[in-house]
Amino acid sequence: MTRKLEGHTELAPILVIKLSALGDFVLAMAAFKAIRAHHADARITLLTTAPYADLARACGFFDEVWIDSRPGVARIGEWLALGRKLRAGGFARVYDLQTNDRSATYFRLFGWRRSPEWSGVVRGCSHPHTNPRRLTMHSLDRVVDQMAAAGVAAVPEIDLSWAAGDAARFGLAGRYALLAPGGAAHRPEKRWPAARYAELARHLAGRDIRPVLLGGDAETAVLDTIAAGCPEALNLCGETSFEDIIALARGAALAVGNDTGPMHLIGAADCPSLVLYSNASNPARTVPRGAAVGFLQRPSLDALALADVIAALAPREPGLRR
């Protein structure tokens, strides 16, 4: 029996929009899988940005991945080209999981006469998410609620079992812990000081748990500071893909990090994880989801002591108290 969208057969193409950021992209993985199951026979395209394209292709939920160059207001030619591409896609339904001003503009690029069914928040869409609590909900709960409003009721847990990163190439022997001390450069208030991470790294090394430092090129200075303070640490700055991080998380004894994207990959891989929050962000809305994720919050992370972090980790790793 062939299911039908409103006015379309099930085989009509589907578009999913999720542009950024990494944490939100990981949380949207549950919806990606649900959309794939709900439209099992349809051709599904994801519109995303370049940093997440490889992850999107690897997960297997999409037939095609389009890269959004996010044109600026003045780049009229790119806007016109994007509009033509969207309209030529022949999409029966769009799941807008970005739900911001940019994706609302993409709704308008289709034109009123050719607009597909649309799950999102833009005025005039066919399947609006109207829950008045949507902006106070956890990001994953909000996506689940949006899917229900669009008739996609069965949203599973985040499943990263498809990821095929190579942890063996890093030559880790014995027990290790992942540290993710980075975060957005323009939000330093969301970072626990590098000197405290160095203290934690030394504490872990003293308990025969090798610290493994994760981050991109933007975190070079932070990771170098920690590595200088703990020679036993393995500094993987700029060396890990998203799938590598997932693979490392599967074998790690524990992980500690700031409110930053890699912690969502690590938590969703069911690594025992502790996420550190200042009052600059709200864990009720953004904490990573996973079987063994916890968090600590202080008004300022400068006030978070190493002893508090160790105490929070102790139920996951009792030997850390020694």
Judge whether 261 and 23 are in contact, CB under 8 Å. Answer: yes
Residue 212 has φ and ψ, to the nearest 5°, of -120, 120
**Among 1.10.10.10, 3.30.720.120, 1.20.58.1610, 3.40.50.2000, what is the CATH number of 4-149?**
3.40.50.2000
Q: Spell out the alpha helix ranges (H) of the chain.
A: 22-27, 29-38, 53-59, 76-88, 101-109, 139-149, 194-206, 220-229, 242-251, 261-268, 283-286, 306-313
- 3-state DSSP: the chain helix, strand, coil percent, rounded to 5? 40, 15, 45
Is the predicted pLDDT of residue 7 greater than 50, yes or no? Answer: no
Give yes or no for residue 135 having a pLDDT over 90. yes
pLDDT in tens, 266-312: 999 999 999 999 999 999 999 999 999 999 999 999 999 999 999 99
- The 3-state DSSP class for residue 292 equals coil
3-state secondary structure of 291: coil
| pTM of the model as a whole | 0.93
Q: Please state the rounded mean pLDDT for residues 239-252.
A: 97
Q: Two tokens at 318?
A: 């009792």
Task: Note the pLDDT tens digit of each residue in 10-44.
Answer: 568 999 999 999 999 999 999 999 999 999 999 99
Longest C-alpha distance within the chain, in Å?
Answer: 68
Tracing tokens 């079992």 back to the chain, one arrives at 161
Instruction: Give the pLDDT confidence score for residue 9 in this predicted structure.
Output: 47
- Within a 10 A sphere around the Cβ of 142, how many other Cβ atoms? 21
- Phi, psi angles (nearest 5°) of residue 44: -115, 130
Burial 35-73 (b: 16+ CB within 10 A, else e): bbebbeebbbbbbbbebbeebbebbebbeebbebeeeee
- Fold classified for 168-321: Rossmann fold (3.40.50)
Instruction: With cut-offs at 50, 70 and 90, classify the pLDDT of residue 8.
Output: very low
The structural domains of the chain, with segments of one domain joined by +, span 4-149, 168-321
| Average pLDDT, integer, range 143-162 | 96
> Do the domains 168-321 and 4-149 match in fold?
yes
